[in-house]
Amino acid sequence: MTDDPGQHAKAVEFFRGRSAESPAYVSLLVFVETCWVMKSHYRITNRKISLLFSGLMDSREIVFEDPDFIASIFSANGFEKLDISDYVIAAIATKAGCLKTVTFDNAAARRVPGMELLA
């Protein structure tokens, strides 16, 4: 994103300095936040987000927390309409042994496996 030229220049410089020996690390929380910013502020579709991150995950200069989990998000049923953060919240809860994740979000309850509307 180039909406802030100063930040863009610093990000470019940072990533140019990464290598397989000194990679950048992207936690799951950073991944989710970045997806949210891309979708809500820049109106980037989930498909484009998946293409971008799939390419980044192939890089030796960037290490992702749980890349297999992130890749599984991109192949989830209904991915195009999912809110990625809702999906991650429900998946982490399921992994922790929860049977359901409750939400007040009607769309999330309909679209996200493991989410249930708290009405």
What are 53-70's pLDDT values in tens digits? 999 999 999 999 999 999
Rounded Cα distance, 36 and 85, in Å = 7
What are the distances in angstroms from CA 21 to CA 14, 57, 60?
A: 14, 16, 9
Would you say residue 46 has pLDDT above 90? yes
CA 12 to chain centre: 21
pLDDT of residue 119: 86
Backbone phi and psi for residue 117, each to the nearest 5 degrees, phi listed first: -70, 130
Average pLDDT over residues 33-43: 95
Instruction: Give one word for 97, left, alpha or beta, with left for phi > 0 and alpha for psi -120 to 50.
Output: left
What average pLDDT is seen over the chain? 94
Q: 116 - beta bridge partners?
A: 102
pLDDT on residue 2:
78
- What does the pLDDT look like over 11-25, one tens digit per residue? 999 999 999 999 999
The predicted pLDDT at position 3 comes to: 82
What's the full length of the chain, in residues?
119
> How large is the C-alpha radius of gyration of the chain?
16
